[in-house]
Amino acid sequence: MYTLTPLIVLYAIIPVILDGVERKLKAALQSRIGPPVAQTIYDLLKLVLVKEIKTQPTILYVYLSLTSSIVTGLASLYYITLYALRGDQVDMFYALALFAITTSTHTVTPLIVPNPYSFIGGIREVVLGVVNEAALITSISLYTIMAQRSVLKSTQWVTIIAVALVALTAFIASYVASSRVPFDIAEAEPEVASGIFVEFSGSVLALNIYSLLLRRLIVKLLVLAPTVGLLYGFSLTGLLVVLLLLPATWVTYATVAVILGRSRVDVAPLTLAKIYIALILISITVLLVQAYA
Amino acid sequence: MSHKPLKLIIIAGSKGRVTVKYPYQEPLITPEFRGEIEIDPAKCIGCGACVKACPPNALELLESEKEVILRYFVGRCIFCWRCIDVCPVNAIKGTRNFELATDKHTDLYTLVVHTRTTCEICGKPFETTRMQRYIAEKSPVTEEYASICPDCRKRLLAETVSARRVGISEHKE
Amino acid sequence: MLNLEETTKYIELASKSGGQAKIEGDTVFITIPPDRLVDVADTIFNKYNTSFRVCAGVDERPLNGHFSLVHLFTDDKAGLYVAVKTYLSGESPVAPSITSVVPAADWCEMEARDLLGIEFTGRETYRLVLPPWWPSNLYPLRKETPYNYRPEPRLESEKLGYSREYGVIPLGPYHPALHEPEYFELYVEGERVVDVKYRGFHVHRGVEKLAESRMSYQQVNFLAERICGICGFVHSTCYALAVEKAAKLDVPERAQFIRSIVLEVERIHSHLLLLGVAFHLLGYDAGFMHIWRIRERVMQLAELLTGSRKTYGINLVGGVRRDVNEEKKQKTLEALRELGREFKNFIEVAISVPQVKKRLTRSGVLPREEAVKLSVEGPVARASGVNKDARRDLPYAAYKYVSFKVPVYTEGDNLARVLVRVDEVFESISIIEQLLDKLPGGSILLTDFEIPEGRVGVQVVEAPRGGDIHYVVTGKGAPYRWRVRAPTYANIPALRVMLRDQPLADAPITIASIDPCFSCTDRVVVVRDGRIEEIKLTQLVK
């Protein structure tokens, strides 16, 4: 466990740097120069140093929920790393359980803030989360189970299709969980004036933003680890491949976010639910067919 | 879902970055741009035509016993250049300068100070020296007439007319 | 197009109602006694199918001891302005309200009541324009009130609306989605908007009183330009045209052409601005950035033609101050060609983004009957099937020399309003090319003229948002009365219809789709019990 400490430190820093890269890429796609890559670091530092404006007394609970979100997030990353090194599926289930705690503590935070915008943003996140978390956990669990090298060696094309479908579902769910356009309806600026972020300032806002960035890191590693395990294998080099693929994945997600517009809370969850149910049902059917055939 | 949204990447790629790192790079203004004005104190005659034309009263004429001051306050200026249009001696020049922020508010005021002439008859100050010279040059009046203030001129005219009517002068001792 | 045979019915109507009519150019001036006002208004609005534009109260006590009230209609099919005037008692002016037959006259009557003290009978009255603490016998627009008198304000904190059944979401006055201060109170049930209460009033600057008191004719052009940041040139042109109409000045043709060219340049810039803002509100920030990148070219073009990116300052009564030479003409044509190409290329990409298309379609619908009843203006009307455009119906400046299409869509949803504006950009590019081609020679400014007192001029100019109307009564060296009604004034009431039963997420984009220009409006709209009342602030002395 102690040898992995430097890696945990790396995990703590990577999302902030990659967010800076994402903003620079977004600026390039919008034909502008954009902020320097270290801008997110500067932002978080400034927020920590600036005077906080306490507008209501629930701030203590908010600190608790956000801190627990970050701590469980880092723990989840630890277990994903173990899975990538050893290929033991139990590690992945621990990681998923911890991730569920991370997301729920982060989602509950705006609901305890007495501000209508915050509440609306929080409810939107809950509605979207209910649909998406279920799909995320189901699809990644299935993916983990199916992600063994022996699967690829199998000549049954049905198996490969089933695995591909489950992987697709996992990637879509992972994108939705990363709270980017078109699914950033919780913090929509035009209608709810920054929704879940509206009452926060200073170090609480820094924690909130950091928790969000950490979540983006976790959801990408959650899908990258089984993919690399499936195509390459579970070892130290496998872990390195995962870490190398991470920036490319982040950039792809960022590009998708720039070219799309924001969805609506009554449209997005329904559409997503339909897609997920369809994909998961098809892949389970395929697996059953293969099992009985 | 069509592929059209992806075309954004191609458009952004072909256009490149269009933003400019102002103020570390030059601002984008054309040669036509209207910036602040510059009053040439050597040419200004203190007539006040610009003051009358200025919509936000950025140009003001401050009068005291011995002098008339034309004050240009750039804080109110809307850079319309009407003053340049109406100045009879072309004393005002337009520049392309718009970076006018300063932390000393006295920088925002430009003063052109004119001396006043006094009336030959009543001794009251009435117009600027330069204006008097300008009128004497430009219009067919004698210098003597130009150095009498308007009130005295009116009084002189009334007296002359009444003298012609009545046949005698009112001020005959 | 102007059709002078149509004036006979107005002359007959005037004489039948015990008054008189006078034709001057394209305006029919009808004067009738106050008790016949409602019938005449009914006939003109409902039977002759005209558009009601605005009403203006005038304090004419120094001239003839009376107050007067003028209702302005435009007969779009005949190309006529119809001004219906009545004289009211100078001591305690009372006029019958025409809101029973002309619902759109609601707010301007209340404004006349607040600012001039004209009482109206036959309707519910309330304070619209002035803040609640304003002394009740102080009427800002009366001639005896000095323009710089400031009564002591009594500051009180505004309370959020309260509703038992619905949640209340305040949108404004300071909100990241809004560019100007305005206050919308959305009553929501879950995520569905059930009702909306709106109050503006936050940027009233007393523009009309200023023009009457301390400005001269030529200075008011610059003041008018600053009524609005986006459509300022429309206001300054409309004022100049109204004064020129009143004084019967023969403005050189070249000046009219240059005015039309700059008006169309302004239209392009305004529509591109709105499209960018609409994309931003939908979450598609890339659309916002790219459209404004394309718009930058128009701003530079405006600076090339007029000397300033915005608030051009080239209009004077009698013509314009800057000319277009051959080099500028070539640069303009080249810029427009490239602009058209880039814009066409980009807008196809932007509208095809699935979220953009889905959220714009079938949201914020304004049915055609409501659009006609509320007399909405501009792209809002044209997107709901009302074929109304002042450039074609009441031609002014150089529009009679060009041919252009007026895009009309029938769906009335947000997408239709966006598409009307996209089409208008292409039409504007074509209009400018035609105008540059036909540009006549000659001078650009009329310098030797007198503006006689006591004349009246009414002018409508098609701003990017709809028809803007200025009413000028000339005085000595400065206007005696100047009344401005911007197009957003007529469009905001339609919001109540459009926002009903919409998801909350679509409220900002629906509000933005009418392209509101609140500083232009200088008004306040209060939605109360199913009626929207607008309050005009243009005479409020701060």
Buried b (16+ CB within 10 A) or exposed e, C259-296: bbbbbbbbbbbbbbbbbbbbbbbbbbbbbbbbbbbbbb
How would residue C541 be classed by pLDDT, with cut points 50, 70 and 90? very low
Note the pLDDT tens digit of each residue in B62-94: 998 889 999 999 999 999 999 999 999 999 999
Instruction: Answer yes or no: CATH 1.10.645.10 is held by domain C207-528.
Output: yes
pLDDT, chain C, mean: 86
Tell me which residue of C459, C524, C492, C526 sits closest to C224, measured CA to CA. Answer: C459
Residues 6+ apart with CB under 8 A from C69: C34, C55, C56, C57, C58, C85, C86, C88, C93, C95, C112, C118
Q: Is pLDDT of A39 > 80?
A: yes
Of the candidates C248, C267, C258, the one whose C-alpha atom is nearest the C-alpha of residue C397 is C258
Q: Which residue of chain A is at minimal alpha-carbon distance from B14?
A: A31
Nearest chain B residue to A260 by CA: give it.
B5
More confident: B60 or C508: B60
Amino acid at C17: S
Residue C525 backbone dihedrals phi, psi, to 5 degrees: -120, 125
φ, ψ dihedrals at C97, nearest 5°: -85, 140
Bridge partner list, A84 = none
The rounded percent of chain A whose pLDDT value lies above 70 is 93
Share of chain B above pLDDT 90, in %: 39
- CB nearest to B12's CB, from A31, A33, A260: A31
Q: In degrees to the nearest 10, what's the CA dihedral of C305, C306, C309, C311?
A: -150
pLDDT of the residue at A286: 77
pLDDT at C176: 66
Cβ–Cβ contact C311 with B under 8 A: yes
Query: What percentage of chain C's residues is helix, strand, coil (to nearest 5)?
Result: 40, 20, 40
- Answer whether CATH 3.30.70.20 is correct for domain B32-166: yes
Q: Which chains does chain C touch, 3 or more C-beta pairs < 8 A?
A: A, B
Most confident residue range from C7-21, C500-514, C527-541: C7-21
Q: With beta carbons under 8 A apart, name residues in chain C contacting A263.
A: 283, 355, 359
DSSP string, C280-319: HHTT-HHHHHHHHHHHHHHHHHHHHHHSSSSS---EETTE
Q: Could you tell me the two tokens for A229?
A: 């395990």
Q: Sign of dihedral through CA atoms A222, A226, A231, A234?
A: positive
Position C347 scores a pLDDT of: 92
A260 vs C284: CB contact, 8 Å cut-off?
yes
In this prediction, residue C76 carries a pLDDT of: 86
Task: For the beta carbon of residue C370, count every other beta carbon within 10 angstroms.
Answer: 17
Distance from CA of B132 to the nearest CA of A (A): 59
DSSP E strands, C33-79: 51-60, 66-75
If one counts every other C-beta atom within 10 angstroms of the C-beta of residue B144, the result is: 9
Number of helices followed by number of strands (H, E) in chain B: 6, 6
Looking from the CA of C30 toward its CB, the CA atoms found within 13 Å total 30
Q: How confident is the model at residue C177 (pLDDT cuts 50, 70, 90)?
A: low
Which of the 8 DSSP states describes residue C403? -
Count chain A–chain B contacts defined by CB atoms under 8 A: 26
Please tell me the distance in Å from B16's CA to the nearest CA on chain A. Answer: 6
Q: Give the Cα separation of A71 and C93 in Å (integer).
A: 74
Tell whether C216 is within 8 A of chain B (Cβ). Answer: yes
Query: To which residue do tokens 């919509």 refer?
Result: B55
Nearest to C240 by CA among C41, C109, C397: C397
Q: Which residues contact C293 (CB under 8 A, 6 or more apart)?
A: A31, B15, B18
Mean pLDDT, all residues of chain A: 85
- Average pLDDT on C207-212 reads 88
Tens of pLDDT, residues A46-95: 999 987 777 666 677 888 889 999 999 999 999 999 998 888 889 999 99
What residue type is C240 in one-letter code?
A
Helix A268-292 × helix A157-177 angle, to 10°: 160
Helices and strands in chain A: count of H runs, count of E runs: 11, 0
Tell me the C-alpha distance between B166 and B160, whole Å.
10
Give the pLDDT confidence score for residue C436 in this predicted structure: 94
**Alpha-helix residue ranges (DSSP H) falling in A147-292:** 149-153, 157-177, 189-192, 202-231, 236-259, 268-292
Could you report the predicted ipTM of this complex, rounded to two decimals? 0.89
Peptide bond into C173 cis (omega under 30): yes
Q: What pLDDT, on a 0 to 100 scale, did the predictor assign at position C523? A: 35
pLDDT tens track for B6-29: 888 888 888 888 888 888 888 888
Please tell me the class of the C4-126 domain.
alpha beta
Q: What would the mean pLDDT of C314-325 be, rounded to a whole number? A: 93
Could you read off the pLDDT of A104-160 as tens digits, one per residue?
Answer: 998 888 888 877 788 888 888 888 888 888 889 988 988 888 877 666 666 677 777
Q: Determine, for residues B28 and C293 on separate chains, whether the beta-carbon distance falls below 8 Å.
A: no
* Separation between Cα atoms, residue C48 and residue C75, nearest integer Å: 8
Contacts of A258 in chain B (CB under 8 A): 8
Calculated CA dihedral for residues C497, C503, C506, C507, nearest 10 degrees: 50
* C462 token code pair: 């098609």
Domain ranges across chain C = 4-126, 207-528
Check CB contact under 8 Å for A259 and B8. yes
Q: Alpha-carbon distance B12 to A28, whole Å?
A: 7
- The domain locations on chain B are 32-166
Q: Does C173 touch chain A (CB under 8 A)?
A: no
Indicate the SS3 state at residue B126.
strand
Check residue C503 and give its pLDDT: 83
Distant-in-sequence, close-in-space partners of C144: CB < 8 Å, separation ≥ 6:
none
Confidence check: pLDDT of C525 > 50: no
Peptide bond into C170 cis (omega under 30): no
Q: Output the average pLDDT for chain B.
A: 87
**Residue A203 in this model has a pLDDT that exceeds 60:** yes
Q: Tell me which residue in C280, C353, C358 faces A267 most closely, judged by beta carbons.
A: C358
Q: Write phi, then psi, for B168 (nearest 5 degrees).
A: -125, 160
The two most distant CA atoms of chain A are separated, in Å, by 66
What distance in Å separates residue C295's CA from the closest CA in chain A? 13
Residues of chain B with Cβ-Cβ distance to A29 below 8 Å are 8-9, 12
Structure token digits, residue A131: 């649909």
Retrieve residue B105's tokens.
Answer: 């508010």
B21 contacts on A by Cβ (under 8 Å):
33
- Is residue A186 scored above 80 in pLDDT? no
**All structural domains of chain A with their residue ranges:** 2-292
- The per-residue pLDDT for C497 is 84
First to last CA, chain C: 42
Buried b (16+ CB within 10 A) or exposed e, C338-349: ebbebbeebbeb
Contacts of C90 (CB under 8 A, 6+ apart): C61, C65, C66, C67
> Which tops the pLDDT comparison, B59 or B136?
B59
In whole angstroms, give the CA distance from residue C97 to residue C91. 19
Which residues from A are below 8 Å from B when comparing CB atoms?
Answer: 27-33, 255, 258-260
Half-sphere exposure of residue C373: CA atoms within 13 angstroms, side-chain side: 13
- Decide if pLDDT at C466 tops 60: yes
Range of lowest pLDDT (A19-33, C414-428, C500-514) = C500-514
Q: How far is C112 from chain B (nearest CA, A)?
A: 27
pLDDT band at C456 (very low <50, low <70, confident <90, very high): very high
What strand order describes the sheet that includes C456-463?
C456-463, C466-474, C479-485
pLDDT value at residue C1: 64
Q: What is the Cα–Cα distance from C356 to B4, expressed in whole angstroms?
A: 13
Q: Which whole number is the average pLDDT over B23-52?
A: 90
Neighbours of B96 (CB within 10 A): 13
Tens of pLDDT, residues C250-275: 999 999 999 999 999 999 999 999 99
Residue A207 has which token pair?
């924690």
> d(Cα C175, Cα A192) in Å, to the nearest integer?
9
Q: What is the pLDDT of residue C252?
A: 94
Query: What pLDDT is stored for residue A191 in this prediction?
Result: 67
Interface test with C, best of A176, A179, A264 (most C CBs within 10 A): A264
B18 in contact with A, Cβ within 8 Å: yes
- The answer to whether the peptide bond before residue B55 is cis (omega within 30 degrees of 0) is no
Q: pLDDT category, C529, cuts 50, 70, 90?
A: very low
Task: List, in order, residues 6 or more apart from C23 with CB less than 8 Å away.
Answer: C4, C7, C11, C29
Maximum separation of any 2 CA atoms in chain C, in Å: 68
- Residue B172 pLDDT: 52
Q: What tokens appear for B95 in the block?
A: 């520049």
Nearest CB among B9, B18, B19 relative to A29 is that of B9
- Alpha-carbon radius of gyration of chain C: 23
For position A287, what pLDDT does the model report?
Answer: 75
Q: What's the pLDDT band for C158 if we cut at 50, 70, 90?
A: low
Chain B residues close to A32, C-beta within 8 Å: 17-19
The answer on pLDDT for C468 being more than 60 is yes
* Residues on chain C touching B85 (C-beta within 8 angstroms): 321
